[in-house]
Structures are given as structure tokens and as C-alpha cells.
Amino acid sequence: MDFPPEEWVIFPAEEFALAQPRNPGALGAEIMAQVRANGRITDHWRVALGGTEVLEASFPLSTLLPAASTLPDWIISYQQFPRDVNIRRNMVCSEWADALALLASHEFTVADTEGEPVDLQRVNRAVKELPAKQNPGASIRWGVTVSAAGQLELQLQALPSSPNNLGCKPIFAR
């Protein structure tokens, strides 16, 4: 899609929160902005995602949870439709999600290095048995980034901390 477009598509204000990208293909992203009748853009904008293919990310469990280096080399896979990724208004990322809760609720699939499925009960049990100091939690979110080639990309981001720690306001001590 070229920028600026030859013709701007204007949606009614009621459709701002739900409007989908036009002609998304495998993955499409557009920035939607609210515009007043006089043509001025308000302070509200959002990234709309759509597409026909399922997003999939695979990574070693040890990159999500550093303490898992004592566990077997398990590979985690996560799938989600682009339409289900909720990029927050006025931001370029989704909320942090509790990766360990997603693992417990079978939202992830797990395989060994040979690609053979691993029983999720076994994985959950092994993660729960890690000492508390070695298991601070883990969180994931989707972020819209720009590649070196100037293309919009959707990136699964992770941090070894609970979403409660990542989503709260910092407390400054004196």
C-alpha cells in the first residue's frame, strides 16, 4: 500500500474501534486516527491488524524463563490470529499476558528438539517445581515494530517477569 494514498478512506466515528485494515493479505496493519469534522486529528489513534494467516512464534522455553535452563531443551510454539491481537489504543503493543498461565491453560504447544510433542502436564509440573527464586514469572506481548527495510512487523516480545510487575506504575523510594 502506497503512502500517501491517492484517496483517504474515511470511516464513521462509530467504526473507529473496530475498523479492519483494507486488503490485509497474510498480515495487514494500518494506523487509524480519529478526525474531527473540521479535519483536525484528535489525540486518539490505533494500529488495526488483520490477515488471513495464523501468526506463529516458536522459541526455546529457556528464552522465556531463564531458570528453565535446568530443564530439557523444550521448544514452545504460540499461535494467534491477527484479528485477535489487541494492540492498545495510542500504543504499538498489546498488554502483557502471563506466559505461565498460558502454558497452564494449554495455549502453547511444546515439543522437544526433535519436534516430538511433549506432554503439557509434564512441562507445567517441571516449571512449578523450579525454586521460587529461579521462577520470577514470564510475560509475553505483541508489538508492532519497523524492520531495517522499513516494513511494519509484528513481533512477539517476552520478559522474565509477571505481568503484574510489568504493567504497574513504578514506586520510587526515597
Tens digit of each residue's pLDDT (9 = 90 or more) over 82-105? 889 999 999 999 999 999 999 999
Tell me how far apart the alpha carbons of residues 13 and 35 are, in angstroms, rounded to a whole number: 8
Question: Which residues span the domain enclosing 110?
Answer: 55-167
Tell me how far apart the alpha carbons of residues 58 and 102 are, in angstroms, rounded to a whole number: 14
Tell me how far apart the alpha carbons of residues 14 and 108 are, in angstroms, rounded to a whole number: 35
Confidence bin at 143 (pLDDT 50/70/90): very high
- 79 and 92 belong to one structural domain: yes
Tell me how far apart the alpha carbons of residues 171 and 165 are, in angstroms, rounded to a whole number: 11
- 118 and 32 belong to one structural domain: no
> Average pLDDT, stretch 35-53?
85
Nearest Cα residue to 52 out of 32, 81, 94: 81
Domain presence at residue 141: yes
Domains: count for the chain: 2
Domain presence at residue 5: no
Phi, psi of 68 (to 5 degrees): -75, 0
Residue type, 108: F
Domain presence at residue 150: yes
- 29 and 62 belong to one structural domain: no
Quick check: bond before 4 cis, omega within 30? yes
- 61 and 95 belong to one structural domain: yes
Residue 10 CB contacts under 8 Å (≥ 6 apart), including other chains: 35
Domain presence at residue 7: no
Domain presence at residue 74: yes
Domain presence at residue 174: no
- 34 and 84 belong to one structural domain: no
- 111 and 25 belong to one structural domain: no
Q: How much is the pLDDT for 59?
A: 92
Domain presence at residue 2: no
- 108 and 154 belong to one structural domain: yes
- 27 and 97 belong to one structural domain: no
- 66 and 45 belong to one structural domain: no
Q: How much is the pLDDT for 12?
A: 78
- 30 and 85 belong to one structural domain: no
Residue 43 CB contacts under 8 Å (≥ 6 apart), including other chains: 90
Domain presence at residue 6: no
- 103 and 147 belong to one structural domain: yes
pLDDT digits (tens, 9 = 90+) for 116-135: 999 999 999 988 888 777 66
